[in-house]
Structure 1
Amino acid sequence: MLVASEETPMNLSRFYIYLVFGICLILFTACGGNSALEFTRAQVEGTVNYKGEPLEEGLIRYVPDGEIINGQVAGKPIFAKIEQGKYQIPAEKGATVGKNRVEVTRYVEAGKQGNMSGGKAELVKQIIPPKYNSHSILSVEIKEGKNTQDFDLK
């Protein structure tokens, strides 16, 4: 039970200051601070076909897969929307130059399921085989400048 007193507002505000400070400290150290490895980004565009047809919509993800230095790989994973079988990633948000693993995902509705609150939750399923996403066998070399990467998934 919380008893109101004149000290309660001060204790709460001090608590929130420490909480915010702690979160900032965690975020700073988790983001690598000054120890992050340098990397270069590049523009990437292309097409994605699935079973011989342009993939209507989905996501493509480029994940840096280069040399590990001090437990880190230089670069950051990036996503792009696939629409009507095409995707485009501008250089400022681009893929990391070097070797990248590529993942393609496409979720579709798979019905509805009742939940404990009596409502219905939409179910979705992944239609792209795991060998192209969660266990991707797709790998490309990204070079500086403009890159075109087309994928024909079966």
Structure 2
Amino acid sequence: MTEHISRHRSPNLPWVVLPTLFTIALLCIPAGCQSASDQPELGLVSGTITAGGQPLPGVAVTFVPEDGRPAMGKTDESGRYQLTYIRDTLGCKIGPNRVEIGASEGSEEAEDDSELEGDELVQSPTKSKTFVIPARYNIQSELTVTVQPGENTFDFDLKP
């Protein structure tokens, strides 16, 4: 008798489960779409990093907003950078940002810059892509900019 009851309920089970799963799926779709709207308003940011007028290739550039996710970029061979907010999304959070400029991962850094002066800090791009960047430009940076909606260009000429 138990077998008869379970066989009788089985054909109706898909008619209960399928609409429930469909309803759950419909409720989840808007939740997934909302993640894009959680992104703050961004401004496009690009510029050039130089030292003594010479471009600095392979340098990490980070804009850190007062709150929220930082935007990052890396200079190319001509010292130009463009910031990325997340994955393939270009830009930076609008408003005040602290600017950190430092060696990127994998770049060579000079071991001791205490005896270097002036032009010695900027090495020939053919010999090395390294510029000894003082702490006041990176983790202890006091550089600040205000990112506006639209396109923003911020060029920095670093001093030893």
> Is contact 1:103–1:132 with CA below 8 Å preserved after alignment?
yes
Q: Which runs of 5+ in 1 are unaligned?
A: 1-33, 66-72, 112-124
- Return the offset for 1:127: 1.8
Residue 51 of structure 1, CA deviation = 2.8
Letter in 1 for 2:149: E
CA shift in 2, pair 1:45/1:148, >3 Å: same
Q: Give the corresponding residue for 1:4.
A: none
Answer 1 or 2: which has greater helix percent.
2
Residue 56 (structure 1) shift: 2.0
Structure 2 counterpart of 1:108? 108
Shift in alpha-carbon separation, 1:129–1:40, aligned structure 2, 3 A: same
Residue 152 in structure 1 maps to residue 153 in structure 2: no
Separation in 2, partners of 1:110, 1:63: 26
Does residue 1:132 correspond to 2:133, yes or no? no
Runs of 4+ in 1 over 2 A off after TM superposition: 89-93
Distance in 1 (alpha carbons) for counterparts of 2:136 and 2:44: 25
Structure having the larger proportion of residues in strand: 1
Letter paired with 1:85: G
Deviation at 1:87, TM superposition (A): 0.6
TM-score of the two chains, using structure 2 as the length reference: 0.54
TM-score normalised per structure 1: 0.56
1:81 Cα deviation from its structure 2 partner: 1.0
**Whose Rg is larger?**
2
| Aligned-partner SS, 1:108 | coil
The answer to whether the 8 Å contact 1:77/1:95 transfers is: yes
Contact 1:62/1:103 (<8 A) preserved? yes
| Residue 80 (1) aligns with residue 73 (2) | yes
Taking a change above 3 Å as real, the CA distance of residues 90 and 105 of structure 1, as seen in their structure-2 partners, is closer
Shift of 1:90: 5.8
In the alignment, the residues of structure 2 paired with residue 135 and residue 89 of structure 1 have an alpha-carbon distance, to the nearest angstrom, of 20
Q: CA RMSD in A?
A: 2.5
- How many residues of Structure 1 are paired with residues of Structure 2 in the alignment? 98
